[in-house]
Amino acid sequence: MGRMRIALAQLNPTVGDIPGNTRLILEAIDRAREEAADLLITPELAVLGYPPRDLLLREGIIQACEEAVEQIARAVHEAGGAGGGPTVIVGHPRQTRHGRRGVRNSASVCHGGQVVAVHDKRLLPGYDVFDEDRYFDPGTETTVVEVAGRRLGILICEDLWRAADVDLRSTYEFDPVAEAVEAGAEALIALNASPFVRGKFARHVRYTSELAQRTQRPIVMVNQTGANDDLVFDGRSMIVHADGTLRAMLPAFEACTRTVELAGEAIVPVDELLGADSESLDSTWNALVIGTRDYIRKTGHTRAIIGLSGGIDSALVAAITAQAIGADNLIGVRMPSRFSSPGSLSDAQETIERLGIGEAHEIPIREAHKLMQSILDPALGDVTGTLADENVQARLRGVILMTISNATGGLVMSTSNKSEMAVGYSTLYGDMCGAVAPIADLLKVDVYALSRWVNDHHDTLGFVQPPIPENSITKPPSAELRANQTDQDSLPEYEVLDQIVERFVERDQSVERIIEETGIDATVVEKFTRMIDFAQYKRDQAVVIPKVSPRAFGRGRVMPIVMKPLPVRISQQA
């Protein structure tokens, strides 16, 4: 293909903020015009933001999006001078008279002050966190448009990926890419809102390169960035040449607009890019920071509150949140009980000092705990040392944190990890309380790995010193809710437990397969898989969890609360 300048608008929209998202698009158009772009492309549903979920059902929302598209088309033409400005392909929902739902996930082509063509997304994913077939009717037509003398085939996200980017076997009956090529497309343009998952980026690159070579067409993919609710978007929009080489790639986790000449020289062989560690901890770190930052910022808050126990989980959450919104905006709270060790108190204080947390308090719960015991004893008898007594302490801490939240307007950060959330080793209305749980999609072994990585790279991350106390990493983990307690009093070693959780939750493996492939004792596997199922009622009340794994707790793992799991045939195991 000859010369063609394409602007990639890698935007961070806020779901529902149609005026704000429209401003982002118009700013990107201004940048594209300054850089003499022929074409500007936005992410999928950029006008409304992704994922809109049931907001699509609200009266007037689709009409407002369509009015915004008309505003964008007029604005491009009015400010474009004699040339009329770049052609703009913008993602939005639109109303139709056809189909059961009457709404489609669309991309409008704006030129000359009006919408000159519309493509409706044809493949609607209904797996993992995606439920587009709940809201949209599928498109029925291939769309090829001419821009600057080139015929461009328009695709929207799943039209391009066909579930290949999540390692699922495609069951779609047709291929929009093949149909666009057959209809004469010289290049393929894809609007995306593809969430981050560890390892997914490498599949994106490999698949796009192979597809470009197979079709002998360049591919332009523009992806959303930032976070909305539990989904984090890594951007990394790209242009791939017809020979499979990478022409351009935008930064990860950063909103920006860049103009690239389509037929220019390749910047890097795809094989070299795939040689990098596609599951590197820096991507996980950035995803958790962005997920936390955008949740706080987009809900209109500026401060966060963290209960600091001296353990590794709260220290890592504090570091993530400090990077997200600045340590000056954190409130760290130590809440010692009669069982808190001097080491835990000093480790919590060290976290405060290492991060430079702006406001810190120590609010002991000893007297409140005694008072609760005296209130409950007439009804329950002496419950000292029981699970009920342990949870009273956790819930007292939750009351303190939520009261500080009410008084300051800050959001409480839950410090639960995925291993604890899986087996219910967390307390409802206690350590599970809050607004967002930054590490609840990290297994405990991942918490340790990420904490060491953060300390090793503290200078490049902007921390003055390693933010997580070494003792928080090396000491035996403990909830310290009874004397001499450690996590391994109730749980197997995390290296063992996390194998069970990863296989049972993320891979949906059977108990029998887990036993056979890991060699873990059958009674241990049976016990903790049953605990995972039983704890579903807790997870259904959990706070927002930024998704970084293929199978996170939340919308992507919709399990029944009341169920009877299949019995385990331990006797059949060799």
**Band of residue 37 on the pLDDT scale cut at 50, 70, 90:** very high
Task: Determine the pLDDT at residue 501.
Answer: 97
Q: What is the DSSP string of 541-558?
A: T--B----SSS-SBTTB-
Structural Rg of the chain based on CA atoms: 26
Angle between helices 366-380 and 387-408 (to 10 degrees): 130
Average pLDDT over residues 320-331: 98
Weakest mean pLDDT among 32-36, 183-187, 276-280, 299-303: 276-280
Q: Positive or negative, the Cα torsion across 439, 441, 447, 450?
A: negative
Cα distance between residue 526 and residue 537, in whole Å: 19
- Cβ burial of 421 (10 Å; 0-12, 13-18, 19+) is buried
Phi, psi of 403 (to 5 degrees): -70, -40
Task: Determine the pLDDT at residue 277.
Answer: 47
Residues of the chain within CATH 3.40.50.620 domain(s) are 286-489
Question: Running DSSP on this structure, what letter comes out for residue 127?
Answer: S
**Structure token digits, residue 514:** 């887990």
| CATH number 3.40.50.720 is the correct assignment for the domain at 286-489 | no
Residues of the chain within CATH 3.60.110.10 domain(s) are 5-278
Nearest to 425 by CA among 567, 307, 539: 539
CB proximity list for 371: less than 8 A, separation 6 or greater: none
Average pLDDT over residues 414-441: 95
Q: What is the DSSP string of 213-279?
A: HHHT--EEEEE-EEEETTEEEEB--EEE-TTS-EEEEPPBT--EEEEEETTS--SB-HHHHHTS-TT
Could you report the per-residue pLDDT of 372-385, keeping only the tens digit for each?
999 999 999 999 88
Which stretch, 162-171, 273-282, 393-402, has highest mean pLDDT? 393-402
Cα distance between residue 149 and residue 346, in whole Å: 68
Report how far Cα 88 is from the mean position of its chain's Cα atoms: 28
Long-range contacts of 126-133 (CB under 8 A, 24+ apart): 127/163, 127/166, 127/168, 128/166, 128/550, 128/551, 128/556, 129/51, 129/195, 129/230, 129/231, 129/547, 129/554, 129/555, 129/556, 130/51, 131/53, 132/105, 132/158
Could you report the per-residue pLDDT of 188-198, keeping only the tens digit for each?
999 999 999 99
Average pLDDT over residues 313-317: 97
Q: Residues 320, 438: contact at Cβ < 8 Å?
A: yes
Average pLDDT over residues 279-303: 94
Task: Determine the pLDDT at residue 572.
Answer: 44
Q: Positive or negative, the Cα torsion across 158, 159, 161, 163?
A: positive
Buried b (16+ CB within 10 A) or exposed e, 347-380: bbbbbbebbebebbeebebeebbeebeeeeeeee
First CA to last CA distance, the chain: 62
Could you report the per-residue pLDDT of 401-422, keeping only the tens digit for each?
999 999 999 999 999 999 999 9
User: Helix, strand or coil for residue 490?
Assistant: coil
Phi, psi of 171 (to 5 degrees): -115, 10
**Band of residue 270 on the pLDDT scale cut at 50, 70, 90:** low
Q: How many CB atoms lie within 10 A of CB 144?
A: 21
Average pLDDT over residues 412-437: 94
**Band of residue 275 on the pLDDT scale cut at 50, 70, 90:** low
Task: Determine the pLDDT at residue 343.
Answer: 87
User: Dihedral through CA 205, CA 207, CA 208, CA 212, nearest 10?
Assistant: 140
Cα distance between residue 107 and residue 340, in whole Å: 57
| CATH number 3.60.15.10 is the correct assignment for the domain at 5-278 | no
Q: What integer best gives the mean pLDDT of the chain?
A: 91
Angle between helices 444-456 and 281-298 (to 10 degrees): 100
Task: Determine the pLDDT at residue 239.
Answer: 94
User: Helix, strand or coil for residue 100?
Assistant: coil
Answer with the residue of higher pLDDT: 303 or 560: 303
Nearest to 61 by CA among 75, 77, 74, 45: 45
Task: Determine the pLDDT at residue 574.
Answer: 36
**Please, what's the largest Cα pairwise distance for the chain?**
85
Could you report the per-residue pLDDT of 226-235, keeping only the tens digit for each?
999 999 999 9
Element (H, E) at 5: strand 5-10
Query: Residue 447 pLDDT > 70, yes or no?
Result: yes
Task: Determine the pLDDT at residue 305.
Answer: 98
Cα distance between residue 367 and residue 346, in whole Å: 21
> Where in the sequence numbering do the catalytic residues fall?
44, 121, 157
Q: Residues 548, 284: contact at Cβ < 8 Å?
A: yes
Average pLDDT over residues 496-513: 95
Could you report the per-residue pLDDT of 141-156, keeping only the tens digit for each?
999 999 998 999 999 9
User: Helix, strand or coil for residue 97?
Assistant: coil
Which residue type is seen at 116? V
Query: Residue 513 pLDDT > 60, yes or no?
Result: yes
Q: How many CB atoms lie within 10 A of CB 530?
A: 14
Task: Determine the pLDDT at residue 78.
Answer: 77
**Band of residue 571 on the pLDDT scale cut at 50, 70, 90:** very low
**Band of residue 81 on the pLDDT scale cut at 50, 70, 90:** low
Element (H, E) at 382: none
Tokens 């490999």, located at residue: 206
Query: Residue 370 pLDDT > 80, yes or no?
Result: yes
What pTM value is reported for the model? 0.93
